Structure 1
Amino acid sequence: MIRGRGVHITLRLVLSIVLSMVLLLSVCVPPGMAEARDQSKLEGNSKEIEELDHAAATLYRDVMDGNIEKARADVAEVSRWFSTGQVQATLSVEAIHALSGSILEVQQATQSVQASPDEWVKAAANLRLATDAIAHPRQPLWQQYYKILREDVSGLNNQFAKGNMKGFKAGTEVLEDHYETIRTAALIHGRTTEVVRTDSWISYVKGLGDQQNADASAIRGALDQGNPTLNALFGREKDATALAPFIPRESERQAELTIGMIVLLALAYAGYRKYRAGFTG
């Protein structure tokens, strides 16, 4: 009887330890492991992604050189690599839609006799940054636009302070152009929520600039949201931290591991006490 009771308690002890280890592992995954899982598909399709990025880089260079005939052939090459299932498998639905739209814009710009060189360059730059975001997710080129957009917001503040609403309106158009250049890349980089927020903010600021007698307090309030909105979009400073998923730092992970080990040992000791009590009770 006592022996059967002891075996039962032993089994409960083993199950407690196993459960504790499972819980411990669930919160103490080594740094980079989760990210490595997220990047696995990307690494497996690296050749196709590399070819796509190379084709977009060639397209951008030919557009900058004014070689539109060559650029038209480059667009076809970009489309060919984008259409592969391997590339699209690494992208979200929003990213696929945005990237396909970027390719179409370049195609239309290079085919149109009415398109200006500025339109060619803008469309090609958008696509170039988008494919780079796929090929280099850790250090994408579009992040370099942070300073440019911050300067655009600073310019809006200066124009508003001077009471120059004509200059303010022109500044909103420059800001929108710069933002549209990186928008697809930001979506590909997984900044969907932040892109929606930035879309709304820029639309609101542009609307205020279009008004004949816009409320000054409304403009000031909108401008105050400019830098926080950009910080969130680019993952900078406090605003980005508040919106981003919580990712424990290395020191926090070590603390979790220590606490988890203490809990595990406590459970094991408690189980051992019960096991001993089963033989002496």
Structure 2
Amino acid sequence: MRASSLFALFCSAVFIGYLAIGSFAGLSAAVASAAAPTPAVETSAVDKQAGSGVAKLSQLADELYTAANDANRQVVYNLLQRMEQLSELKAVRASGTDAGWAAYDQTVKGLKQALSEKGTSQRWYIEAAKLKLASDALYRPTVPLWLQYEGILKDDENRIMIAWQSQTEGRFDAAKVNLDIYRDHIDRFEIAALMQRDAGQLQALRDQVTYTERILTAVDGGAVKPQEVQFALEGLNSAASRLFRLSDGQPALAEAIPPGTTIGEYRKGSSQIVEMFIAAFVMAVLGFAGWRKYSLYRNVGEPVSRNKFK
């Protein structure tokens, strides 16, 4: 290949690399805008220890979740022991809230108890999921996974309303079942929410769930009017919205991810951008090589052996 061709390829690689770096920097800036301001002084040794400890705790929680899903009792127990020791470090406890850590410790204790009992593997999975979400909230405070439950709760709320409006004989039982699912989902992200929100906000949501259940029962018994169910569900939606919003009332992810993008998609965004531009570069190289070959032989023609048609 000629020197000019090599130079053109080199320039293309530099340009594509520049675009990839720029895109990655744009994604990083979006996260930085939602994070706390950079301190004027250098990060202390204690802060570095806390960050390292929280990162390790999140990693262990991910492994615990996988082991619990596989019903591997021994691995779950060993990981739980390591997580318990790590979570007791003062540097790690500096993240989160007292209420969050109290709920965290209680869940660890409950999971330990479940490991000593037979037929409790399903409980391992549920308790491990709670610890995973809580550890993730400590490690990624700006884009924690538990915030995705806002959409899940909205779906639950819609199913409650659809079940109630079905006008079938068992509509109360159907609505009650979906309300129980709503409550289970709150249980799933409770520790993570307590690590980042005031306990009163979570309790307000739970109280609204209890109130909605009472309204459903009262309407089913003819004690109150059916439209009270709609009012109760509106209150449920409001309580959930307050929990998932920041202290200034703005959506928690408004500064972190683009509208309509999930947290999982956002986390993969940086690597996907880089992979996309690498693929583009490879395609450019292959296309250029094909064009060079075509331009070389288009006016020359390819010789054909006389023996080919014998």
- Structure 1 residues 45 and 75: alpha-carbon distance in aligned structure 2, compared to 1, 3 A threshold: same
Question: 2:147 aligns to what?
Answer: 143
Task: Quote the Cα distance in structure 1 between the aligned partners of 2:208 and 2:105.
Answer: 25
Deviation at 1:34, TM superposition (A): 6.1
Whether the 8 Å CA contact 1:72–1:111 is kept in 2: the answer is no
Task: Quote the Cα distance in structure 2 between the aligned partners of 1:53 and 1:42.
Answer: 17
Question: 2:111 aligns to what?
Answer: 106
- Structure 1 residues 87 and 221: alpha-carbon distance in aligned structure 2, compared to 1, 3 A threshold: same
Matches within 5 A, 1:89-100: 89-100=94-105
Give the 3-state SS of the residue equivalent to 2:165 in structure 1: helix
Pair 1:59 & 2:64 matched: yes
Task: Quote the Cα distance in structure 1 between the aligned partners of 2:67 and 2:61.
Answer: 10
Question: 1:161 aligns to what?
Answer: 165
Pair 1:86 & 2:96 matched: no
- Structure 1 residues 34 and 170: alpha-carbon distance in aligned structure 2, compared to 1, 3 A threshold: closer
- Structure 1 residues 118 and 85: alpha-carbon distance in aligned structure 2, compared to 1, 3 A threshold: same
Deviation at 1:32, TM superposition (A): 7.8
Give the 3-state SS of the residue equivalent to 1:54 in structure 2: helix
Give the letter for the 1:113 counterpart.
K
Deviation at 1:95, TM superposition (A): 1.6
- Structure 1 residues 158 and 43: alpha-carbon distance in aligned structure 2, compared to 1, 3 A threshold: farther
Give the letter for the 1:226 counterpart.
L
Query: Where do 5+ consecutive residues of structure 2 fail to align?
Result: 1-32, 252-310
Deviation at 1:187, TM superposition (A): 0.9
Deviation at 1:132, TM superposition (A): 0.5
Pair 1:127 & 2:131 matched: yes
Task: Quote the Cα distance in structure 1 between the aligned partners of 2:238 and 2:136.
Answer: 25
The structure 2 residue matched to 1:229, chosen from 239, 248, 255, is 239
Pair 1:205 & 2:208 matched: no
More helix by share: 1
- Structure 1 residues 72 and 206: alpha-carbon distance in aligned structure 2, compared to 1, 3 A threshold: farther
1:183-234 Cα shifts (integer Å, max 9, x gaps): 1101101243321221211222234445662633432221111222222111
- Structure 1 residues 201 and 43: alpha-carbon distance in aligned structure 2, compared to 1, 3 A threshold: farther
Give TM-score scaled by structure 2 length. 0.60
Whether the 8 Å CA contact 1:109–1:123 is kept in 2: the answer is no
- Structure 1 residues 118 and 83: alpha-carbon distance in aligned structure 2, compared to 1, 3 A threshold: same
4+ runs deviating over 4 angstroms: 31-37, 39-44, 209-212, 240-244
- Structure 1 residues 36 and 108: alpha-carbon distance in aligned structure 2, compared to 1, 3 A threshold: farther
The structure 2 residue matched to 1:45, chosen from 46, 50, 63, is 50
Whether the 8 Å CA contact 2:150–2:244 is kept in 1: the answer is yes
CA root-mean-square deviation: 2.7
- Structure 1 residues 43 and 202: alpha-carbon distance in aligned structure 2, compared to 1, 3 A threshold: farther
Task: Quote the Cα distance in structure 2 between the aligned partners of 1:32 and 1:151.
Answer: 27
Question: 1:171 aligns to what?
Answer: 178
Question: 2:299 aligns to what?
Answer: none
- Structure 1 residues 76 and 33: alpha-carbon distance in aligned structure 2, compared to 1, 3 A threshold: closer
Give the 3-state SS of the residue equivalent to 1:45 in structure 2: helix
Deviation at 1:114, TM superposition (A): 4.1
Query: Where do 5+ consecutive residues of structure 1 fail to align?
Result: 1-30, 245-281
Question: 1:183 aligns to what?
Answer: 190
Give identity over the alignment, percent: 21
Task: Quote the Cα distance in structure 2 between the aligned partners of 1:182 and 1:109.
Answer: 19
Whether the 8 Å CA contact 2:35–2:142 is kept in 1: the answer is no
Deviation at 1:102, TM superposition (A): 2.1
Task: Quote the Cα distance in structure 1 between the aligned partners of 2:215 and 2:106.
Answer: 28
Task: Quote the Cα distance in structure 1 between the aligned partners of 2:47 and 2:196.
Answer: 12
Task: Quote the Cα distance in structure 1 between the aligned partners of 2:129 and 2:153.
Answer: 16
Whether the 8 Å CA contact 2:65–2:125 is kept in 1: the answer is yes
Give the 3-state SS of the residue equivalent to 1:162 in structure 2: coil
Q: Which protein, 1 or 2, shows the higher relative CO under an 8 Å CA cutoff with sep ≥ 6?
A: 1
